[in-house]
Amino acid sequence: MNMKKCLDLEYDVVLSFAGEDRGYVEKTASFLRRSGIKVFYDLYEDVDLWGKDLYQHLDDVYQNKAKYAVIFISEHYKRKLWTNHELKSAQARAFSESEEYVLPARFDDTEIPGIRKTIGYVSLIDLPPIDLAKKIIKKLGDVEPEKFLPDDIVYIKELFDSLFEDFDEEEIESLVLYVFSKLKLTTDKERQFLTGLMMYSCRHDITEDLHEDISLFERITGFTREEIIDILKSLSNLGFEYKIDKSGSECFENGDEKVYEQLSVKMISREPELVLDNVTMVLVFMYSGAMNGKCDICCKNTLQRLDFSDLKDKLDKEDLEFFQKCIPSFEDDE
């Protein structure tokens, strides 16, 4: 299997460098991370590395966990024991594949054993860190960002501008950043439930909550009722609130109306400076923008990764008309 092309790898790119060159590398790593690239940079992994056998763990990371390894070559790099260990691990991967894996980036002309002069490299002498990061992104090609929110959330801003009159751009950005900061703290299981909630619940009034028959969520998520309630209790410390009520279905059998248990979920802000207390609507806008134009499988994968890349796209007329039906004030105007 060509591991580099597998999108299930833990990282898109791993960075190997000497401590003396950290200033440049950290700026590169920061831009990559803000761009939704899964990057292994030691300071981002300090808690995960705590207590591990670093010799074995780093060997696995640099050999098996990424699509590419960027080697920051310098006079300092050649002298370090750990960088030599990382390089040997990366080279072991490169030797086993027919396509490139090690990407040299040179601060100077230092010769590094195992890095041939004939291997294509990038010179860093006059190249700013952000420009190197952009080259890495281009080299990666199609990637699946994780926990990513673009700088310009065009889709959300156009929704607010079209539906309301009393929100300015800064207020909208603050709402979205708040919701995103909470979503980044969720577990895989919590994201799986939220994905099902966003994809399949009733959106009669998204300014208030999302609601649906709890048995439907059992079916689509694979969680039992007890597991769903446990997940919701866990999400409560991120501002999620829920209730379960008996609700009429307006369907009758033998003269009796069928009754089901309706699960209602909302997200409440705990930041007094935000213009909304109930931010459920913002949550729905974000998830809907991420799902726009995708099949169910791609929707689930995108939401599970918290990839909000598509919020940079413009709002289309069909989406606007759909959301107008989800807000009671628009129904009242008709």
For CATH 3.40.50.10140, list the domain ranges present in the chain: 3-140
243 confidence band (pLDDT: 50, 70, 90): very high
What mean pLDDT comes out for the span 21-25?
94
Least confident of 19-23, 62-66, 85-89, 295-299: 85-89
> Which residues is 157 bridged to in the sheet?
none
Confidence check: pLDDT of 147 > 60: yes
CATH architecture of residue range(s) 3-140:
3-Layer(aba) Sandwich (3.40)
User: Distance between CA 209 and CA 281 in Å, rounded?
Assistant: 8
In this structure, what token pair is assigned to residue 169?
A: 């751009």
What mean pLDDT comes out for the span 231-258?
79
What is the edge-to-edge ordering of all strands in the sheet holding 66-73? 39-40, 11-16, 66-73, 102-106, 122-123
- Using CA atoms, how far residue 124 sits from 74, 113, 135, 248, in Å, is 10, 20, 12, 67
Confidence check: pLDDT of 268 > 80: yes
For residue 7, the model assigns a pLDDT of 40
For residue 273, the model assigns a pLDDT of 92
Per DSSP, helices labelled H in 37-102 are 46-49, 54-64, 75-79, 81-96
More confident residue, 330 or 319: 319
What mean pLDDT comes out for the span 226-234?
96
What mean pLDDT comes out for the span 292-303?
88
What mean pLDDT comes out for the span 236-250?
85
Question: Which residues, including other chains, have CB under 8 Å from residue 258's CB and lie 6 or more apart?
Answer: 248, 249, 251, 252
For residue 3, the model assigns a pLDDT of 36
The tens digit of pLDDT for each residue in 184-228 reads: 999 999 999 999 999 999 888 999 999 999 999 999 999 999 999
166 confidence band (pLDDT: 50, 70, 90): confident
Least confident of 189-193, 258-262, 316-320: 258-262
CB atoms within 10 A of CB 10: 12
Percent of the residues in the chain that have a pLDDT greater than 90, as a whole number: 52
Predicted TM-score of the model (pTM): 0.64
* Mean pLDDT over the full length of the chain: 86
5 confidence band (pLDDT: 50, 70, 90): very low
What mean pLDDT comes out for the span 227-236?
97
For residue 99, the model assigns a pLDDT of 64
Rg (CA), the chain: 24
The tens digit of pLDDT for each residue in 50-109 reads: 777 777 888 888 888 888 999 999 999 888 877 777 878 787 777 666 568 889 999 998
